[in-house]
Amino acid sequence: MQNTTLARYIHTFDKYLTKVETNIGIIFFAFMITIVLIGIFMRFVLRTPNVYGEEISMHLLFGSTMIGISLGVRSKSHLGVEGLVDALPGIAGKIVKILMSFVVMGMYGALCVISFTLASQSMQFDSFTAALRVPYYSIYYTMSFLFAICLLQSIFLFINAYLLEKPILKIEGGGTLS
């Protein structure tokens, strides 16, 4: 039985989340490149250090990488053992794929919990980054939030592949989404 409300919710959420993640990732990466180029200009032309540039670019790289992980989950672009699984006959291949989906969801859930625990513990120590004085716990909470999005993406892909009569999320080669 096709649950059209759930399918509609997943499709709408997926469409907007993918657009938001893609745009934020592009913006982060563009700002990072700009800040690195400004740092190069300041160091070699103006002979002035860019005190905050390295740390800002590091945070932007971290953010774009974490968003890229989520986009990779959505487009099924991460490493896998598809060749082995696809070689398995019928039901065995499907069972292994389902088990792998649960392992992946479990790993993202564990990473979410571990990073949330790390964030909670780091709040007790009041540790900050060197230049910008950003509290480390905010970085760990961001990581926890993005792993939660990866988990949500994995759950949606599982529902799409195994619980809906007619899959609604299309995944094409190269990470093309619709």
The secondary structure of the chain in percent helix, strand, coil, rounded to multiples of 5, reads: 75, 5, 20
Extract the tokens encoding 97.
């794929």
Cβ(66)–Cβ(38) under 8 Å? Answer: no
CA distance 47 to 50: 10
Terminal C-alpha separation, the chain: 23
pLDDT tens over the chain, length 178 residues: 457 888 888 989 999 999 999 999 999 999 999 999 999 999 999 999 888 999 999 999 999 999 999 998 888 877 666 677 778 888 888 898 899 899 999 999 999 999 999 999 999 988 898 889 999 999 999 999 999 999 999 999 999 888 887 788 876 544 444 4
Look up the pTM and report it: 0.84
